[in-house]
A and B are shown apart, each in its own frame.
Chain A
Amino acid sequence: GENVEQHPSTLSVQEGDSAVIKCTYSDSASNYFPWYKQELGKRPQLIIDIRSNVGEKKDQRIAVTLNKTAKHFSLHITETQPEDSAVYFCAASMAAGNKLTFGGGTRVLVKP
């Protein structure tokens, strides 16, 4: 089955700096890659997603890039703010079954 590895497990950045989280996946049949933000005690919140027919997608301060050949995708957060502090999860899904396989998460701390 699919396996998703996520790095780093923790990331501390200064407010205003950029943060980058990287994920690799094992199954070349995966074609949908969402990113979720989970604040303490709250539900995972979908913040951005990308499909395998697209190489990059941007939404204000966040962007996701996908390299299908290397089977990795990354989340980029620019101009970080204290409210960006949370745990971020990447995930991968094959078309059939719509099952999400999650990475282990990255705890991001934005220091003011």
Chain B
Amino acid sequence: ETGVTQSPTHLIKTRGQQVTLRCSSQSGHNTVSWYQQALGQGPQFIFQYYREEENGRGNFPPRFSGLQFPNYSSELNVNALELDDSALYLCASSPVDSPLTSYEQYFGPGTRLTVT
């Protein structure tokens, strides 16, 4: 059984640019959640995808968008990057039978995004 993987590991972008981060979920997991972790803080929920549909969104602006593919991998896209977007972006996968039940979430290693 393979774990959650993310790419790239690190990324440096300039303010105003766009970025795409990628996540491969753990084998057998059909749900992916994305979190932003600023330095010294707990992860903040961005959104979740369940069977290719968005299933909940946190307090993030529309320039944060995502996709989930038929193989349950996922992308996080951020447009018009701002300095405050600098953070560790984590994805987590879950084996969800129903979106109405909470399940264990297993995190990937994260992508460290630096916006200059």
A contact residues vs B (CB 8 Å cutoff): 1, 6, 31-32, 34, 36, 42-46, 49, 51, 89, 91, 93-105
- Complex CA–CA separation, A44 to B59 (angstroms): 21
B contact residues vs A (CB 8 Å cutoff): 4, 31, 33, 35, 40-45, 48, 50, 55-56, 58-59, 90, 92, 94, 96, 99-110
How many residue pairs between the two chains, A and B, have CB atoms under 8 Å in the bound complex?
72
- Complex CA–CA separation, A102 to B56 (angstroms): 16
Which residue from chain A places its CB closest to the CB of B46 in the assembled complex?
A99
Chain B nearest CB: distance from A57 CB in Å? 13
Report yes or no: A98 in contact with B96, Cβ–Cβ below 8 A: yes
Report yes or no: A31 in contact with B90, Cβ–Cβ below 8 A: no
The listed residue (B41, B56, B58, B90) touching A98 by CB distance below 8 A is B56
Residues in B neighbouring A32, C-beta threshold 8 A: 102
Residues in B neighbouring A36, C-beta threshold 8 A: 107
Chain A nearest CB: distance from B101 CB in Å? 5
Report yes or no: A102 in contact with B48, Cβ–Cβ below 8 A: no
Report yes or no: A99 in contact with B33, Cβ–Cβ below 8 A: yes
Q: Could you give 13 example pairs across A and B, Cβ below 8 Å?
A: A43-B107, A44-B90, A46-B106, A51-B102, A89-B42, A95-B102, A96-B99, A98-B56, A98-B99, A98-B103, A100-B33, A100-B45, A105-B40
